[in-house]
């Protein structure tokens, strides 16, 4: 738990290793996990809106993925019911039968066709679907009578004890053999969080990191997304936008299977993918950021690339690192929360990150502006700290001279810090409280314009050299 107190310090400790291998799993200490508030009440208001129906085509280890939005929404009990249909269940172990298989076996072929997963008729379903009457029943975030009844005896939790390492390996083989069968749904990229303010450290919705200084919210980048999975719902090979870090916490449910490429193989991996999809590469040099291209670990092994893999269980974190291509799939009903983050070390990487230009809303961060804000923030913090120390020292001197018989007025004068004409000096505590001395008026920091010394914040010398906030020891940066 002592190691877990500071997220930035923890990331700094594992950064070199993570940069090499691409992804890292972090298992929280029991003290952190048991302190988490129950998410049952929050889940009552969750709507899984317009999940994507995933169509995967291909053969011999090379596949492409097409996502089609389904025009309806689900409450969590409705979503779980879909995930427990036989078409969306992992194959049963030998001698066992999938859940829901009995009822479907008794149906006639015609009725069975009509009662197949709602995914089957997704192409025919339009915006006039079931989401509209559901919306009309909901006012001010309240649940309809039907939805309240669904939650009455509903337990969101999931017994994942069957997913032993051996079972996960068995399902991995089945996944790659049947990847083109059926069409799973994925409730991906849904803005929201299941964390509360009670969780101070490792709160995915409020991570202590460099992106907090952007000055704006970028959904999924510095504000959290929720992901609701089912058996075979897939995320294809990709790296994060702007080559950022990402963190994924599995709140509950079946595991996720992850794959990653070590940084030393990053360029070779990219070239292999480019050779498989040359037309897509011609259209967009950053085509792998589209998250629609998939190759199997065996295919990559045959091409001389080792694939790292891990099983991500409920109550665990997975962190992906810059240049760490990763992919994976879900082994069943689950819910995860994810967001991007950045370190000061990332500033060098982000400044050279390439952007997908064929998507209009592709993430773009002004790294130079962000680095400048961080420098100004650090400089101001150093000055405030120095002034507080000076004030404490002057107070100690004043107290000593007072004991030697100095007058109270003289002692009071000596306890004031020397201003040297700077409006910041002697005001450290007031600045920290955000109040202008003597006025009760909040202090508004003046606008910062890069490369214009005359507009530096008051009290900051234009001759003081800027300290480079990036880590000069960055290893293995690959610049395509």
Residue 475 has what pLDDT? 39
Query: Which residues, including other chains, have CB under 8 Å from residue 278's CB and lie 6 or more apart?
Result: none
Residue 396 has what pLDDT? 73
Residue 361 has what pLDDT? 67
Domains and CATH numbers, the chain: 3-352 (2.60.120.650), 369-455 (no CATH)
Instruction: Please tell me whether residue 287 adopts helix, strand or coil conformation.
Output: helix
Residue 250 has what pLDDT? 98
Whether pTM > 0.75 for this model: the answer is: no
Confidence bin at 335 (pLDDT 50/70/90) = very high
Residue 479 has what pLDDT? 44
In angstroms, what CA-CA distances link 350 with 72, 167, 181, 355? 37, 39, 39, 10
pLDDT tens string 9-48: 999 999 999 999 999 999 999 999 999 999 999 999 999 9
**Separation between Cα atoms, residue 290 and residue 297, nearest integer Å:** 20
Mean pLDDT of 334-341: 97
pLDDT at 471 over 50: no
Mean pLDDT of 254-268: 96
Residue 165 has what pLDDT? 96
Residue 385 has what pLDDT? 78
**Separation between Cα atoms, residue 137 and residue 378, nearest integer Å:** 51
Residue 214 has what pLDDT? 85
Higher-confidence residue of 253 and 405: namely 253
Instruction: Please tell me whether residue 370 adopts helix, strand or coil conformation.
Output: helix
**Separation between Cα atoms, residue 13 and residue 224, nearest integer Å:** 24
Confidence bin at 104 (pLDDT 50/70/90) = very low
* Least reliable range by pLDDT among 211-225, 405-419, 455-469: 455-469
Residue 419 has what pLDDT? 42
Residue 363 has what pLDDT? 79
Confidence bin at 98 (pLDDT 50/70/90) = low
Residue 202 has what pLDDT? 97
Q: What percent of the chain has pLDDT over 90?
A: 56
DSSP 177-226: HSTTSS--EEEEEEE--S--TT--SS-GGG--SGGGGSSS--BTTTB-EE
Higher-confidence residue of 214 and 475: namely 214
Residue 133 has what pLDDT? 38
Higher-confidence residue of 325 and 100: namely 325
Confidence bin at 459 (pLDDT 50/70/90) = very low
Residue 371 has what pLDDT? 81
Confidence bin at 115 (pLDDT 50/70/90) = very low
pLDDT tens string 146-203: 777 888 889 999 999 999 999 999 999 999 999 999 999 999 999 999 999 999 999 9
pLDDT at 76 over 70: yes
List the strands of the sheet with 293-295, edge to edge.
23-26, 317-320, 245-253, 334-341, 225-229, 185-191, 52-59, 62-69, 293-295
Mean pLDDT of 272-288: 95
Higher-confidence residue of 260 and 466: namely 260
pLDDT at 56 over 60: yes
* Least reliable range by pLDDT among 232-241, 344-353, 363-372, 375-384: 375-384
Beta-sheet pairing, 23-26 with 317-320: antiparallel
**Separation between Cα atoms, residue 300 and residue 273, nearest integer Å:** 10
By the 8 A CB rule, do 23 and 258 touch?
yes
pLDDT at 424 over 70: no
């Amino acid at each position: 738990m002592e190691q877990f107190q500071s997220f930035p310090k923890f990331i700094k400790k594992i950064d070199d290793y993570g940069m090499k291998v691409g992804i890292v799993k972090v298992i929280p200490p029991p003290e952190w996990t048991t302190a988490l508030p129950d998410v049952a009440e929050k889940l009552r208001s969750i709507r899984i809106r317009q999940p994507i129906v995933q169509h995967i085509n291909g053969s011999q280890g090379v596949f492409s993925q097409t996502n089609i939005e389904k025009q309806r929404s689900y409450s969590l009990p409705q979503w779980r019911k879909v995930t427990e249909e036989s078409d969306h269940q992992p194959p049963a172990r030998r001698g066992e039968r999938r859940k829901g298989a009995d009822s479907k076996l008794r149906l006639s072929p015609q009725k069975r066709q009509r009662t197949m997963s709602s995914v089957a008729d997704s192409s025919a379903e339009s915006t006039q679907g079931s989401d509209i009457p559901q919306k009309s029943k909901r006012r001010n975030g309240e649940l309809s009578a039907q939805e309240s009844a669904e939650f009455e005896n509903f337990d969101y939790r999931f017994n994942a004890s069957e997913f032993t390492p051996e079972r996960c390996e068995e399902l991995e083989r089945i996944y790659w053999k049947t990847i083109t069968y059926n069409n799973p749904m994925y409730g991906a990229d849904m803005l929201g969080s299941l964390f509360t303010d009670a969780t101070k450290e490792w709160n995915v919705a409020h991570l202590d990191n460099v992106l907090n200084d952007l000055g704006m919210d970028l959904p999924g980048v510095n504000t959290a997304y929720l992901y609701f999975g089912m058996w075979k719902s897939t995320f294809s090979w990709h790296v994060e936008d702007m080559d950022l870090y990402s963190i994924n916490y599995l709140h509950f449910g079946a595991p996720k299977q992850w794959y990653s490429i070590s940084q030393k193989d990053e360029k070779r991996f990219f070239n292999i993918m480019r050779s498989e999809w040359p037309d897509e590469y011609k259209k967009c040099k950053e085509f792998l950021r589209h998250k629609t291209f998939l190759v199997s670990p065996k295919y990559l092994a045959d091409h001389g690339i080792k694939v790292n893999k891990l099983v991500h269980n409920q109550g665990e974190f997975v962190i992906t690192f810059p240049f760490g291509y990763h992919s994976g799939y879900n082994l069943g009903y689950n819910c995860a929360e994810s967001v991007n983050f950045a370190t000061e070390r990332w500033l060098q990487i982000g400044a050279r990150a390439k952007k997908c230009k064929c998507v209009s809303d592709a993430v773009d961060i002004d790294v130079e502006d962000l680095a400048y804000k961080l420098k100004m923030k650090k400089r101001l913090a150093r000055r405030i700290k120095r002034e507080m120390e000076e004030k404490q020292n002057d107070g100690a001197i004043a107290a000593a001279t007072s004991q030697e018989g100095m007058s109270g007025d003289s002692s009071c004068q000596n306890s004031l810090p020397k201003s040297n004409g700077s409006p910041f000096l002697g005001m450290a505590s007031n600045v920290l409280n955000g109040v202008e001395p003597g006025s009760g008026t909040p202090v508004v920091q003046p606008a910062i314009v890069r490369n214009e010394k005359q507009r530096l914040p008051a009290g900051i010398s234009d001759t003081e050299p800027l300290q480079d906030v990036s880590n000069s020891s960055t290893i293995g940066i690959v610049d395509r």
